Amino acid sequence: MVRLDGTSLTREEVIRVARQGCGVVLDAEQMEAVRRAADFLDEQVRRQEPIYGVSTGFGSNADKLLGARRAREGIGEPPSPGRSLLEELQHNLLITHAVCVGEPFPPEVVRAMLVIRINTLMRGHSGIRPSTLEALAAMLNRGVVPVVPRKGSVGASGDLAPLSHLAIVLLGGGEAWFAGERLPGAEALRRAGMAPIALSHKEGLALNNGTTQMLATAVLAIERMEKLVETADLAAAMTLEAFAGRSRAFAEKVHALRPHPGQLAAAASLRAKLAGSSLIDCPYHLIPRFRTWQAESWTLPEDQAQHFDIAWDWVPPAQRHGREAFYRRFLPFRGGKKHQPQDAYSLRCIPQVHGAVRDALDQAIRVVEVELNAVTDNPLLFPDAGDAAAIEDRVISAGHFHGMPLALAMSYLKAAIPVLASISERRLNKLLDPATNDGLPAFLIGNEDATDSGFMIVQYTAAALVNDLATRAHPAAVHSIPTSANAEDHVSMGANEARHVLEMTEDLGHVLALELYTAAQALDYRRDMINAARRLARRGDLDALCSKVGNAPSAGTEAYALFRSECAELLRQLAALDAFRPSPVVQAALARIREEIPFMRKDRPMDAEVRRMCELVAQDALLGLHPS
Which run of H or E residues covers position 144?
none
Residue 306: other Cβ atoms inside 10 A: 15
CA distance 277 to 250: 14
Contact 14, 114 (CB under 8 A): no
CA distance 433 to 603: 17
Active site residue 560: no
C-alpha closest to that of 347 among 244, 231, 465, 455: 244
C-alpha closest to that of 250 among 354, 355, 350, 353: 350
Buried b or exposed e, range 30-58, using 16+ CB within 10 angstroms? bbebbbebbebbeebbeeeeebbbbbeeb
- Helix-, strand-, coil-residue percentages of the chain, each rounded to 5: 55, 5, 40
CA distance 27 to 143: 20
Catalytic residue among 52, 412, 525, 560: 52
CA distance 480 to 154: 8
C-alpha closest to that of 517 among 435, 617, 448, 376: 617
Q: Is 22 helix (H, G, I), strand (E, B) or coil?
A: coil
Which run of H or E residues covers position 543?
helix 542-546
Give the amino acid at 134: E
- Note if the bond before 184 is cis, omega within 30 degrees: no
Buried b or exposed e, range 331-345, using 16+ CB within 10 angstroms? bbbbbbbeeeeebee
Distances (CA, A) of 429 to 274, 426, 461, 524, 599: 21, 5, 11, 17, 19
Q: How many CA atoms lie within 13 A of 283 on its CB side?
A: 14
DSSP per-residue letters across 329-394? HS-SEE-SS-S-SS--HHHHTHHHHHHHHHHHHHHHHHHHHHHTT---SSSEE-GGG-TTS-HHHH
Residue 108 DSSP class? H
Query: Hey, which residues does 291 pair with through a beta bridge?
Result: 309
Backbone angles phi, psi at 315, to 5 degrees: -95, 110
CA distance 94 to 58: 12
CA distance 212 to 121: 11
Helix pair 404-432, 456-472: axis angle to 10 deg: 160
Contact 429, 455 (CB under 8 A): no
Residue 250 DSSP class? G
CA distance 205 to 94: 8
Interstrand relation of 395-396 and 549-550 (parallel, antiparallel or unpaired): unpaired
Sign, Cα dihedral of 103, 106, 111, 117 = negative
Catalytic residue annotation:
52
